[in-house]
């Protein structure tokens, strides 16, 4: 038998560098490409509501995408997350070329804390101490929670989500303390 090699070509997505037009934090911003063409306008939920825009991504008659996010203010991380969602809609690849902020360092640390998340499931499926059996694994789960609190607080500034995460973590830690006292 003769071996036949088949070359599968993967179509490379075009990479579009996106820059902000204003300083963050803000309530809305036009996102432009390297030719200074507006690709999308990103709004907070409140600001988008003023223009009767629905949450999510819609393409305007002018060809510019309107992105309405559930955030108190627009910052670098909100834009990065919105661009990931825009990639799914357009099939293009976007790279945010905004300036690095002090918040970005803390967000990077929060993401580092959340790295073990892959071991214990994902946010859609949920995770808790029941999937962690050793003290190290339980510490990793707690670090994930701390990372989530930091990420949520800095990225979306959603006080209710942060309170909920904090309450959940408190309940899990109390349960762990009760379990330790039994033995």
For 113-124, b/e burial (b = at least 16 CB within 10 A) is bbebbeebeeee
pLDDT, one tens digit per residue, over 25-69 is 999 999 999 999 999 999 999 999 999 999 999 999 999 999 999
Residue ranges per domain, the chain?
15-96, 102-182
Q: Is a pLDDT exceeding 90 seen at residue 143? A: no
Model pTM score: 0.75
Joined tokens for residue 149:
């609190």
pLDDT, one tens digit per residue, over 91-125 is 999 999 988 888 888 999 999 998 888 776 555 55
């Amino acid at each position: 038998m003769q071996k036949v090699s088949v070359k599968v070509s993967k179509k490379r997505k075009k990479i579009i560098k996106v820059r902000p037009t204003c300083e963050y934090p803000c309530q809305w911003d036009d996102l432009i490409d390297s030719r200074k063409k507006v690709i999308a306008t990103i709004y907070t939920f409140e600001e988008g509501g003023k223009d009767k825009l629905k949450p999510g991504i819609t393409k305007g008659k002018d060809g510019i995408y309107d992105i309405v996010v559930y955030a108190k203010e627009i910052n670098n991380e909100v834009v990065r997350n919105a661009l990931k969602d825009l990639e799914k809609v357009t099939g293009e690849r976007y790279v945010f070329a905004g300036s690095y902020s002090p918040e970005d360092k803390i967000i990077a640390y929060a993401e580092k804390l959340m790295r073990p998340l892959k071991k214990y499931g994902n946010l859609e499926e949920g995770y808790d101490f029941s999937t962690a059996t050793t003290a190290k694994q339980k510490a990793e789960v707690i670090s994930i929670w701390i990372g989530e609190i930091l990420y949520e607080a800095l990225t979306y500034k959603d006080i209710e989500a942060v309170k909920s995460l904090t309450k959940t973590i408190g309940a899990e830690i109390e349960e762990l303390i009760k379990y330790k006292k039994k033995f």
